[in-house]
C-alpha cells in the first residue's frame, strides 16, 4: 500500500491540484471568448441603438445578446468541448486545429438548434433561412473563438506536463529575433 505522506506523493498531489485549477481557469477563459465572439456583434449593434435612443432602458438591450451567447457558449462547452477533450485526449489527437474544427462546426450546429427550438412553437415552416444563417455564423464564430482558447490552454498544459514533447524552436525564427 502506497504511503500518502511521502514527498513524491505530496508533490504529485500539488501538481494535480495546479492542473485542475488551471483547467477551471482555461474553461472560463474559453467560455468568455465564446460569449464575446458570439454575442459581441449584436451587443455592439444594440449599444449603437442605445446611444442613439439615449435612454437607460435601451442600455439593458445591450446585455440580452451577451446573456444568450453566454448560455449557448456554456452549453457548447459542456456538451461539445468537454466530451471532445476526453475523446481527443484518450486518442492522443489533441491539436489546436482539431479543437477549432470541432468548435466551428459544433458552434454553428448548436446555435442553429437553439434557434430552431425557439422557432418551433411559431411554426418552423414560416421561418426563413436568414435567421439560421446569421445565428449559425455567430455560433460558428463563437465556437471557433472558444475552441481556440481551449485548445491553446490544453496545449500549454501538455507542455507543462511533458516539456520534452514541446516543439523545438524554429532556428530561422531565432535568428531573426
pTM of structure: 0.77
pLDDT tens digits for 34-47?
999 999 999 998 88
Q: Angle at the Cα of 31 (from 27 to 35), degrees rounded to 5?
A: 175
Integer CA distances (angstroms), 151 to 53, 143, 146, 157, 163, in order = 41, 12, 8, 10, 17
Q: What pLDDT, on the 0 to 100 scale, is given for residue 175?
A: 63
pLDDT (0 to 100) of residue 162: 74
- The Cα–Cα gap between 79 and 144 comes to 15
The mean-pLDDT minimum among 19-23, 96-100, 115-119 falls in 19-23
For the chain, what are the domain ranges? 18-164
* Residue 92 CB-density burial (10 A; 0-12 exposed, 13-18 middle, 19+ buried): exposed
What confidence tens digit (pLDDT) does each residue in 30-76 have? 999 999 999 999 999 888 888 777 777 777 888 899 999 999 999 99
Q: pLDDT tens, 121-176?
A: 666 566 677 878 899 999 999 999 999 999 999 998 888 777 666 555 566 666 66
Give the whole-angstrom CA distance, residue 90 versus residue 172: 34
| Mean pLDDT estimate for the chain | 83
Amino acid at each position: 500500500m502506497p504511503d500518502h505522506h511521502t514527498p513524491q506523493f505530496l508533490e504529485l498531489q500539488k501538481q494535480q491540484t495546479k492542473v485542475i485549477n488551471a483547467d477551471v481557469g482555461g474553461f472560463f477563459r474559453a467560455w468568455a471568448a465564446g460569449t464575446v465572439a458570439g454575442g459581441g456583434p449584436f451587443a455592439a449593434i444594440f449599444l449603437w441603438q442605445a446611444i442613439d435612443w439615449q435612454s437607460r432602458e435601451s442600455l439593458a438591450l445591450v446585455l440580452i445578446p451577451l446573456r444568450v451567447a453566454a448560455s449557448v457558449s456554456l452549453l457548447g462547452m459542456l456538451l461539445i468541448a468537454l466530451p471532445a477533450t476526453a475523446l481527443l485526449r484518450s486518442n492522443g489527437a489533441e491539436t489546436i486545429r482539431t479543437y477549432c474544427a470541432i468548435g466551428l462546426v459544433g458552434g454553428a450546429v448548436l446555435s442553429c438548434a437553439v434557434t430552431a427550438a425557439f422557432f418551433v412553437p411559431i411554426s418552423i415552416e414560416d421561418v426563413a433561412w436568414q435567421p439560421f444563417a446569421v445565428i449559425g455564423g455567430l455560433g460558428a464564430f463563437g465556437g471557433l473563438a472558444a475552441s481556440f482558447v481551449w485548445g491553446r490552454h490544453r496545449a500549454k498544459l501538455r507542455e507543462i506536463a511533458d516539456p520534452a514533447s514541446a516543439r523545438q524552436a524554429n532556428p530561422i525564427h531565432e535568428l531573426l529575433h
